[in-house]
Structure 1
Amino acid sequence: MRSRLQEMSHKLIVQAMAASDPAPEPPGRPWQSAVVLALGAVHADPSLLPGYCHKLLEEIPVAYNPDSIILPLHGGMLMRVYSLAKSKKALLPFLHQAYERLLAYHRNLYEACDPLETFLIDNNHPRQLGWPYSELWQSQPDQSGRQRIDPIYNTLLIWSNEALIKLGHLLKQDLTELIQWHELAIYAMNEYLWNADSGLYRPYDLRRAAQTPLTYLGGLLPMLGEIPTQEQAERLLTYLETGPWRDETFQAAVVPGAESPTGFTAIDLFSNWMLYQGLLRYDMFEAAARIKKDTLALAADQGIYECYHPISGEGLRGYCSPFAAALLSDLLLR
């Protein structure tokens, strides 16, 4: 029997497919992709999956656009959709098309946005990470002309490259280029963004050629792409459990300890989903269970939102978002 939250999630996903444009362009937030709705469809109504797959093909950029705010999550999400789909054979023609388009797009990203030639992408606009991260960056001093290598964006790209390697193996493709990207990017993340003193990943400021001393949830998210070693991942877990997040009412706020509902912090649903998946990759089941429990409790109490207040739990943005419903469905059923 479905819970009330499952029923709400199912209804929102079905309604999104019935809308004239379930994946608007440009999306409201960088992670609002048709592939997220496809993930929800796998759980709620698999008959909707072909429609979302078609939308995803339309959504994948054909070339790099400096004004785009789309995060490179498509490959990783697509692999999760495929792993959960019951009728995998029916997805193969679509996977061929998506694989080729994503491979070309990732190649374009590296050609246009890799100033260090290390397979790490730079970001020069706060909108590229979406709210509340955009507010966080704008709150930092001297942001004019700032270029940075951000752990979140690059984690998602590495995660997607890893997924494309798996899909490419399934489709019998030459993986030489992808494997090179993947291995060199992981090495560079640990070389440039890992801070051994704090046990956290930090953004890298290209102008100063130094890390930015910023404590935020993005520093924990590289676990999603299995970027840290086991030892590094254990230090990240220690930071989550004994550092500034330890006294949070709910885990895990984008910026620990901040209370403003309209400022640059919140319980961000997509961030918590990424953190949950990352913890599971390192068999950190207790910590993952708390993230899941707190996130689902907020949704059950306040309704389906994309962000929640870190202290009161009040829903802040994205009320009845089908994208949020899709992520909650995935949390509920795993």
Structure 2
Amino acid sequence: RLWDEEHAIYFDYDLVESAPIHAHVAAGFSPLFANVPTMKQATRMLDKLNQCGFCPLDEHCYAVPSYDKLEPGFAGQRYWRGPIWLNVNWLLYWGLRRYGFDDYAARVKEAMILLPQRAGFYEYFDPDTGRGHGSDRFSWSAALLIDLLSEGGESS
């Protein structure tokens, strides 16, 4: 019930309304981490990631924002409505690796390493400027960077 064929993403589901929540969020790519999509679905998800609302491979962006920048609900500094979260990008990185999408995975990894180098270990980051927001010296940001630098925690 979560996979949306038309939009090539997994949507959240509202149990009270018994309906999908049609918000194009980066968490909709997290099933890649858990090896849920078929290869065909995963390839379509990569195509969606590569569109200008998230983070196209051939354009500059700081990392994958939490919300599609072209959707009406996007707000770059509104917590889960647009900022970059390293934990979401970490799930995305390992999911992309799992499916062999190494070029895009390398880009996500590079972006995740550069953000804290430039801005510090913040809770989340502005998708347009890369500026850190929320708590500084945020432990999961530091832990995820350590994981990436050590290539530890590989899931199989």
The reply to whether TM is greater than 0.5 is yes
1:255 to 60, 64, 67: 67
Quote the Cα distance in structure 2 between the aligned partners of 1:244 and 1:314: 19
1:269 to 86, 90, 93: 86
1:331 to 141, 148, 152: 148
Quote the Cα distance in structure 2 between the aligned partners of 1:306 and 1:280: 24
Aligned residues between the structures: 143
In the superposition, the TM-score normalised over structure 2's length comes to 0.84
The question of 1:222 aligning with 2:31 is answered yes
Task: Compute the displacement of 1:213 (Å).
Answer: 1.3
Relative to 1, partners in 2 of residues 1:204 and 1:322: Cα closer, same or farther, differing over 3 Å? closer
In the superposition, the TM-score normalised over structure 1's length comes to 0.41
Quote the Cα distance in structure 1 between the aligned partners of 2:23 and 2:11: 6
1:281 to 98, 108, 111: 98
Which residue number corresponds to residue 17 of structure 1? none
Quote the Cα distance in structure 1 between the aligned partners of 2:119 and 2:75: 18
Matched residue of 1:227: which SS?
A: coil
Q: Which of 262-271 and 223-232 deviates more?
A: 262-271
Which residue number corresponds to residue 40 of structure 2? 231
Deviation >3 Å, runs of 4+: none
Does structure 2 retain, via aligned residues, the 8 Å contact 1:259–1:311? no
Task: Compute the displacement of 1:230 (Å).
Answer: 0.8
Letter in 1 for 2:130: G
1:317 to 106, 122, 134: 134
Alignment of 1:102-141 (within 5 A): none
Which residue number corresponds to residue 244 of structure 1? 53
* Unpaired segments ≥5 residues, structure 1: 1-191
Task: Compute the displacement of 1:318 (Å).
Answer: 2.7
1:307 to 117, 124, 130: 124
Task: Compute the displacement of 1:332 (Å).
Answer: 1.5
Alignment of 1:78-227 (within 5 A): 192-227=1-36
Relative to 1, partners in 2 of residues 1:312 and 1:259: Cα closer, same or farther, differing over 3 Å? farther
Higher Cα radius of gyration? 1
Quote the Cα distance in structure 1 between the aligned partners of 2:100 and 2:86: 21
Which residue number corresponds to residue 154 of structure 2? none
Quote the Cα distance in structure 2 between the aligned partners of 1:248 and 1:255: 17
Letter in 2 for 1:267: I
Task: Compute the displacement of 1:248 (Å).
Answer: 6.7
Does structure 2 retain, via aligned residues, the 8 Å contact 1:248–1:256? no
